Amino acid sequence: MDFKYSGENICKIGTDLLVVGMFKGDKFSGSVKGVNDALGDVLKTICGDEKFDGDLGKSVTVSSTFGKIGAKRVLLLGLGDKSRFSHDTVRKAGNLTAKKLKVASAHVTFGPEFNGGKGYIAALAEGVMLGAYGFDKYKTKNGAETEIENVLIISEDIKDRRFEEEISAAKAISESTCLARDMVNEPPVYMTPSKLADIASAVADEGGMRCEIFDLEEIKRRGMEGLSVVSSGSAEPPRFIHLTYEPHKKYKAALAVVGKGITFDSGGLCLKPADSMRTMKMDMAGAAAVLGIMKAIARLKPSVKVHGLISTCENMTGPAAYKPDDVIRAYNGKTIEVINTDAEGRIVLSDALSYAVNLKVDEIIDLATLTGACMVALGTYTAGLMGNNQKLIDRIKKAADRAGEKMWQLPMDEELRPEIKSDVADMKNVGSRWGGAITAAMFLENFVGDTDWAHIDIAGPAYNEKESSWSPKGGTGFGVRTLVSYIMDR
Ligand code: BES
Ligand code: MN
Ligand code: ZN
């Protein structure tokens, strides 16, 4: 997709589709008025007929302009309340445009109202690229859909350099988000732990980052028993992955992003019922997001050192599968009594988190499709945010708001801590049904020592069973945008 800008009059521009925006309740003004006048009040008439009032997410289309203006067609998008106009409004507008246009709009032009200042070009471009995403690798092509090839943004007050910078940042972020989406969408027979490690290694090569990959033998030798034990029911060997991005200049801080990489979660011996097992290829979405984040920052070059850590394996029921009643010694020496083999994510993360502590980082942030309980609490579009440091949590929440990803803090309720006390080991891997997302986070807390740590439970937003307004069906790449924004701002 190629992006350009121009200061030309929008009525004169030859383009397949002209996109203009209108705030809620706005009477026709600015560029919308120009277009409406040139079209002899057509826009106004359609808006009246279709009761369009500028609501965000709503739109009207003029499917032919009959040569009255340069554009062949016009899409009028609602921008919602003017007082709430933000980067996210424009990102959504871009997203919606790309989704609306499945036919014959190779050249798209956006009116000047989408450029609200610094970062708006990036947000619009990001929205268009993410909205154009589809995963059709396994479908026989029918050739009916046209892809957007050229995007022209009308803007009078922008300099070449800033435009190029914003577009290249938008490309880095959307390509990385789409990598994470693709990885989640791949079937589990393809996206095995070793395949995931191959992709990690390719991301590292491309971005000039260090990459270490431990195989089963090395995982065992290092005492990462959580990962080796969870993997033992599967014919696929596990991998532990460590990518390092190091800035050229002296760096301000070092942090670790840690991802859960269960490439298929059958539940293990505590087998999931068939209906809950479907979609469990997405249980590596945390790992996919970590690779997306590493890919993006290798291009955007923040002055922060970042370790990307992934524990990846399958959770299966083979003859050597781990069992309820087993006791596991994690990388930091703490012991875990297994109550339920379906609470495997926290067990594989125990090794990765304690490994991160040994790297002496300033902060650890993990992303994991950890609990169904988090989805019960917050629904399928919002991630649960927890941790041991309120300032860190607040900064991540702010970054999520900027990036247009929904996160909500859940409390670390001390009264729930006894839930995961064990009679035979230092802790057990599940408590009762109540507060399951919180007790899972409290379990993880045992492995971060004194390091500032935040945990993002992405079980809901990592995967859409049906298309949502602003993200595609299947893998969403959730977490990439927030953490890239967080790291760039750090
Ligand atoms: N991967 C699941 C959590 C999950 C559920 C993610 C639904 C996305 C959608 C996790 O490993 C799991 O199975 N958790 C159990 C924990 C329980 C056994 C304490 C759950 O949530 O039911
Ligand atoms: Mn599970
Ligand atoms: Zn799982």
pTM here is 0.97
- 265 CA: nearest ligand 1 atom: 1
Ligand 1 close to Cβ of residue 332 (< 6 A)? no
- What residues are annotated to the active site? 272, 346
266 contacts 280 by C-beta, under 8 angstroms? yes
* pLDDT, tens digit only, all 490 positions of the chain: 999 999 999 999 999 999 999 999 998 988 999 999 999 999 999 999 999 999 999 999 999 999 999 999 999 999 999 999 999 999 999 999 998 876 567 899 999 999 999 999 999 999 999 999 999 999 987 766 678 899 999 998 888 999 999 999 999 999 999 999 999 999 999 999 999 999 999 999 999 999 999 999 999 999 999 999 999 999 999 999 999 999 998 999 999 999 999 999 999 999 999 999 999 999 999 999 999 999 999 999 999 999 999 999 999 999 999 999 999 999 999 999 999 999 999 999 999 999 999 999 999 999 999 999 999 999 999 999 999 999 999 999 999 999 999 999 999 999 999 999 999 999 999 999 999 999 999 999 999 999 999 999 999 999 999 988 889 999 999 999 999 999 999 9
CA pair distance 218, 223, nearest whole angstrom: 9
- pLDDT digit string, tens, across residues 386-412: 999 999 999 999 999 999 999 999 999
CA pair distance 210, 356, nearest whole angstrom: 16
CA pair distance 230, 399, nearest whole angstrom: 33
- pLDDT digit string, tens, across residues 273-324: 999 999 999 999 999 999 999 999 999 999 999 999 999 999 999 999 999 9
Average pLDDT of the chain?
96
CA pair distance 135, 183, nearest whole angstrom: 10
Ligand 2: centre distance to CA 440 (Å): 12
Q: Which residues pair with 61 in a beta bridge?
A: 75
Ligand 1 close to Cβ of residue 371 (< 6 A)? yes
Ligand 1 close to Cβ of residue 405 (< 6 A)? no
**Nearest Cα residue to atom 17 of ligand 1:** 343
339 contacts 431 by C-beta, under 8 angstroms? no
Joined together, the tokens standing for residue 451 give 């390091």
259 contacts 289 by C-beta, under 8 angstroms? yes
H/E stretch holding 31 reads: helix 30-38
**Nearest Cα residue to atom 3 of ligand 1:** 371
- 270 CA: nearest ligand 1 atom: 18
- 436 CA: nearest ligand 1 atom: 19
Q: Is the dihedral of CA 139, 141, 145, 149 positive or negative?
A: positive
* Residue pointed to by tokens 């009040």: 41
Q: What domains are there in the chain, each with its CATH number?
A: 2-155 (3.40.220.10), 171-489 (3.40.630.10)
pLDDT on residue 99: 87
Ligand 1 close to Cβ of residue 340 (< 6 A)? yes
